[in-house]
């Protein structure tokens, strides 16, 4: 197809790193962001892959984001680690925080990470999967801009407010889910707009509060929480965990502060890491994991079911050899960052 460009995963990482570096990101930040973008493309999560590079660049050129800030860490309590991103994007902070967070979870059984002063347009699953691959149970929560109306409301207030969870498995990739508290991720609406496709019903309302399937009208209006008041309650919880709890902003405050229209949410992220072996008296981790597998097997006995992350793992088997495709227009944009 002439409107699509085929790339290997190495090429995805290379073009992302070169584009970010050419626009002013330090090598460490460029590589950390490229790592995150590449794993999204590898798992066929296009809304968080190379599609996101223009968001990073726009935010940097707006002058608010630091291209080279090195995160700093301090202990707030024996089990609570704070990471200050100093106005940098989150991927580098998350990579550097994994080891100290794991050490505290191993030592104490449970540990928390409070990230502050970070810009973030990435998915959450890479950071929880990273910890689950080390045998830990992990949670992550972050807010965004004010995109989502509260249940019964018509004006944006909450972010899409995703939460992610990961459970380790013996001899298999972890079970992982990463889901917005809204009916869809923001990026999914943006991709529908780019591709000229209508939205499913129930995703959004327009500025007049009426339901809409038009992406442009949705982006001008408000997204809806999934499941009505149930999704809205989760969004509220995430606002409190990633905002008030860690001492950072709520989504509506991030929106109000974005006077330069950076387009990249700014605020906090909260993570919890648990050593599962420390949660049972005899520390029999193998028995814990085997017990979980009984539940997974019962789920999969039913036709039409799958475990969270199975679709991504199937993609992960294909893309290292088959590569990925992206719109030619996006590829041209990325090449323009490098060549101009």
Q: Which residues are catalytic?
A: 47-48, 188
Residues 79/110, Cβ–Cβ less than 8 Å: yes
Say if CB 331 and CB 5 are below 8 A apart.
yes
Helix count and strand count (H, E) for the chain: 12, 12
Please, are residues 114 and 268 in contact by the beta-carbon 8 Å criterion? Answer: yes
Residue 99, exposed/middle/buried by CB under 10 A (0-12, 13-18, 19+)? exposed
Query: Could you give the CA distance from residue 84 to residue 67 in angstroms, rounded to a whole number?
Result: 15
Look at strands 137-142 and 163-169 and give their pairing.
antiparallel
Range list of β-strands (E), the chain: 4-7, 72-77, 80-89, 110-119, 137-142, 163-169, 172-179, 204-205, 211-212, 222-223, 266-274, 324-327
| Pairwise CA distance, residues 142 & 286, whole Å | 31
Sign of CA dihedral 309, 312, 316, 318: positive
- Indicate the Cα dihedral angle 331, 337, 339, 340, nearest 10°: 130
Ramachandran angles phi, psi of 272, nearest 5°: -130, 130
Give the bridge partners for 172, in sequence order. Answer: 169
Beta bridge partners of 81: 75, 113
What's the token pair of residue 40?
A: 């999204």
């Amino acid at each position: 197809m002439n409107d699509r460009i085929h790339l290997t995963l190495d090429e995805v990482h290379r073009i992302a790193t070169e584009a970010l570096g050419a626009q002013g990101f330090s090598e460490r930040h460029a590589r950390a962001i490229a790592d995150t973008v590449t794993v999204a493309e590898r798992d066929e999560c296009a809304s968080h892959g190379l599609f996101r590079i223009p968001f990073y660049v726009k935010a940097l050129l707006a002058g608010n984001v630091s291209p080279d800030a090195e995160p700093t860490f301090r202990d707030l309590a024996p089990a609570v680690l704070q990471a200050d991103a100093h106005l940098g994007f989150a991927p580098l902070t998350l990579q550097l925080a994994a080891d100290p967070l794991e050490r505290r979870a191993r030592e104490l059984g449970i540990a928390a990470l409070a990230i502050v002063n970070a810009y973030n347009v990435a998915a959450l699953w890479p950071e929880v999967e990273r910890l689950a691959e080390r045998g830990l149970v992990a949670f992550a929560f972050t807010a965004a801009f004010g995109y989502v109306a509260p249940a019964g409301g018509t004006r944006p207030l909450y972010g899409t407010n995703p939460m992610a969870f990961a459970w380790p498995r013996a001899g298999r990739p972890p079970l992982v889910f990463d889901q917005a508290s809204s009916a869809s991720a923001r990026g999914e609406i943006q991709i529908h707009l780019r591709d000229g496709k209508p939205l499913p019903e129930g995703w959004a309302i327009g500025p007049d509060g009426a339901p809409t399937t038009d992406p442009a009208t949705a982006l001008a209006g408000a997204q809806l929480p999934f499941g009505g008041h149930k999704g809205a309650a989760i969004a509220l919880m995430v606002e409190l965990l990633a905002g008030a709890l860690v001492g950072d902003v709520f989504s509506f405050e991030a929106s109000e502060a974005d006077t330069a229209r950076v387009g990249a949410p700014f605020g906090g992220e909260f993570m919890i890491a648990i050593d599962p072996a420390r949660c049972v008296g005899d520390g029999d981790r193998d028995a814990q994991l085997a017990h979980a597998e009984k539940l997974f097997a019962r789920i999969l006995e039913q036709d039409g079911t799958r475990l969270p992350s199975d679709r991504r793992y199937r993609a992960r088997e294909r893309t290292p050899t088959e590569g990925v495709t992206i719109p030619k227009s996006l590829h041209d944009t990325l090449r323009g960052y490098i060549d101009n």
